[in-house]
Structure 1
């Protein structure tokens, strides 16, 4: 985060609302993604007043018709840049409308700064006092409690305290090594209070994690040297430390001859065309490993959480918080836990292994990568031959149009693994996915990603359920209004497939299975191409393999011309 330095803009005797807005910008916040209400009037007046003389001294406001889209957009922007952005919502009801997107930012370690007003607490002629009956209804005992278990920090600004200090503290704790949301509240009276404050006057601690100590690195290097088939399992390495960590993991894998598995990846952690990338199934890979290194993987394998390897196969856990305190239950058994930055630690170990990189017999994983690609090609060939518009065929066609300037967002839920297996992405930053389970992230996140990377093409892959959860009309308007077009491809299987498969897994021969799990189906089929018609978006329904390629190209052409595009693709799924 930028050091405010000596050039900070100060304004003695400003309102607290003035200071909050200026402080956000001084500390590096470019955007306020806002869904505004009556509690924001001091902030809106302050913004208008400041824009008259010095518009660059406050963040740019992005109006968001729904709160979940606002937080998803801030999440997308922060996930790409690493810099927290601000989200403004309306008292308790707006906070509740953030919904599952708070869960996603929390579990995905994404820094965001959320501000919500509180109902006024005074009557009469005081600035900001109650002026509507609704302000009684919106007054609750503990508004922070709605979100506090998902936040790294919560606080209420109350004068005569310095509002700049509250902004600095919220941003600082949102940006700690285990990043996430912060939540600040204030009443209208507090925001209208005149204060003596200098925005940007606090020095924010840059608490970046560091690599393991020399003794631990030496021990790890010795353990790797003794292994013939070491394996790395990671989920968030490329998200939390970006391009640098992708390169560090590549160096380690090549020096150690280690295979790499991405388990529920939130970003591209390792080039997926690399012949040491062995897929997305940690248990299958662990069955062939004689050393397992968990690197920034909150849930390193699917339950049951019992050890998936023999007792004589060591499991090493590298993480900034290997005890996982934010999970009420975390019972994955490991042999050695190292509290350190995983990427920096792997790079330090690689430095000690480079002399062994070319030794014969040290890389048993390359054959696994090639076998996986052969099996994929054979399966695709059969599906194309039969003219089946499956999720695999759809993803393969998308892979044909992805290039070095593309960022892919993946919220296809039960088809997420299919997308991972069939998109041959290599560039760090080319892939984003939520780590949490709150559906509806991608439609809003696409706007934030596009604002953060205006020269890139953003393609969102979503399930039909995820698309509906994402408030598609509000998201379409937000993208069009703020010149952030993207291509959305809906994997429309006319069902909640996760509900169906989970029910069949638990009760394969029971009544729900015999009835086809009717509660999992959308009948009649939703025509999801219509939602984006609230703006002049390009839309199409795709129901055949022959029309798929032309539809994708037409959609991308529309995005290139500045028009949001939505393709409703009717996939065939078992």
Structure 2
């Protein structure tokens, strides 16, 4: 058995049975070995960022790693943005990066690069396989490392891949998730019950139904303000689930939410900061004189920690849940508000929503709060171009659930080729492109930093010269598509897409931002 065969058999034996791939010459023995390992599903992406984002979306929905196969350092570099998002989400991903044969590397061929240095920017674990005999054990260790909520990168030289002597390794032990220290729990309980203003900020697996119920019990019993991190990896929500508001993206709005808190208790998340630094403003969102109480970080068992807190502070109290409520389907002009109302009115039960709507999606949380129970995936690391690939992975992970990808126009173009994979795999993904013909977020940030713009800067924000045609782009990649110019048309298009299997795209024509 060669090294590639032992790698694949070890991965499938450890429960990694999907590989999102954009391979090249150095990975050809891995590709050939797929025919002998029918338990591994290989999904082709036309761009490395599509493959890495799909692995992220898959793992967010399954809780177990997907593999992603990339070609040398430049291929890894192309996939880096969505590996960054996976890292910030605490997503388990096994990245297999082919390298030149060890005998070829000293020749400094055109694609030679320092793969370890590139991988180190986003990976919690990096290893070079030195021989075919070691590949299986290396793969088992990579899977175990990924299960700790990180990107694990295994670099596979071509001669190690084709070399004989490969051995399949048994799954390596997976370390249990860290649990909250008793002292940290007690300190948090004391802070929350002190009578002083407090914020309970939650993330990680605390944003599933059980964790949300426990958090709501704590907040109701203590009067603490309950908030979720700004961009959750996966948030369960809708009718029957305890509701939670997310910490605002804009610093001033987030400061208003936190208010004059004397205590900020962190369960499954980091201490809050603004996304960027701005002239004359502090990026730390924790008020002066406020004490931060970390209970467990995003890699830990956050839901379990909240249940312990709830048992301490709110024994016997039931959680409040969101009532079933939908907006009436609107008519007339299509605006961000009416588009959100259409989504809230029609969102299917058990849907997975992948949200990269950016500024056009501001009204979506309120409009969908009482929709049937669903999952919401967001842009954890801020590296745009995540939505279409993550929807790919979520649909592969959950073929029995509808996936709605709510996608801004500018960021869609980063990874638009993911639509081809949607068509090729027959994935049940309905993509709504919010087409406002602008990078509207950049206009907002220009104002935030206090810079004075003019015609030259404005030219970098507009997407209207020439105007993009997403229906043509989608149809060219095999995805049925139509354009909606009113709220009624958007509702009709979503109903038609929901009634038919496979992928669809709806181009929602919104007013250009002023």
Q: Above 0.5 in TM-score?
A: yes
Render the CA deviation track for 1:221-277: whole Å, top value 9, x for unaligned.
2332222754322343446xx444334323433443443222313245474667864
Q: Is 2:110 the counterpart of 1:137? A: yes
How far is 1:20 from its partner?
0.3
Q: Is 2:498 the counterpart of 1:532? A: no
How far is 1:527 from its partner?
1.5
Partner of 1:550: 492
How far is 1:93 from its partner?
2.4
Q: Is 2:358 the counterpart of 1:413? A: yes
Measured at CA, do residues 492 and 498 of structure 1 come closer, stay the same or move farther in structure 2, by a change above 3 Å? same
Q: Is 2:505 the counterpart of 1:566? A: yes
Partner of 1:151: 123
How far is 1:463 from its partner?
0.6
Q: Is 2:310 the counterpart of 1:342? A: no
206, 213, 221: which is aligned to 2:189?
221
Give distance in 1, aligned partners of 2:98 and 2:375. 36
Partner of 2:228: 262
- Structure with the greater alpha carbon radius of gyration: 1
How far is 1:33 from its partner?
0.9
Mapping 1:454-533, distance limit 5 Å: 454-470=399-415, 472=416, 474-507=417-450, 510-512=452-454, 517-524=458-465, 525-533=467-475
Give distance in 2, aligned partners of 1:218 and 1:189. 55
SS of match in other structure, 1:76? helix
TM-score calculated relative to the size of structure 2: 0.87
Partner of 2:6: 19
In 2, are the aligned partners of 1:318 and 1:341 still within 8 Å (CA)? no
SS of match in other structure, 1:316? strand
Measured at CA, do residues 95 and 307 of structure 1 come closer, stay the same or move farther in structure 2, by a change above 3 Å? closer
SS of match in other structure, 2:431? strand
189, 193, 201: which is aligned to 2:170?
201
Give distance in 1, aligned partners of 2:492 and 2:12. 44
Give distance in 2, aligned partners of 1:157 and 1:93. 19
How far is 1:408 from its partner?
0.5
Give distance in 2, aligned partners of 1:276 and 1:252. 13
Q: Is 2:156 the counterpart of 1:182? A: no
Q: Is 2:331 the counterpart of 1:318? A: no
In 2, are the aligned partners of 1:489 and 1:569 still within 8 Å (CA)? yes
Partner of 2:251: none
138, 157, 160: which is aligned to 1:166?
138
In 2, are the aligned partners of 1:110 and 1:181 still within 8 Å (CA)? yes
Q: Is 2:387 the counterpart of 1:442? A: yes
Give distance in 2, aligned partners of 1:535 and 1:276. 38
How far is 1:84 from its partner?
0.7
In 1, are the aligned partners of 2:144 and 2:172 still within 8 Å (CA)? no
| Structure 1 alignment gaps of length 5 or more | 1-13, 124-128, 322-338, 371-375
Measured at CA, do residues 184 and 219 of structure 1 come closer, stay the same or move farther in structure 2, by a change above 3 Å? closer
- RMSD of Structure 2 on Structure 1 (CA): 3.3
SS of match in other structure, 2:413? helix
SS of match in other structure, 1:68? helix
Mapping 1:267-416, distance limit 5 Å: 267=233, 269=235, 271=237, 277-278=244-245, 280-281=247-248, 282-287=254-259, 289=261, 291-298=263-270, 300-302=272-274, 304-306=282-284, 308-309=286-287, 311=289, 313-320=290-297, 341-355=301-315, 357=317, 387-416=332-361
Number of residue pairs aligned between Structure 1 and Structure 2: 499
In 2, are the aligned partners of 1:209 and 1:341 still within 8 Å (CA)? yes
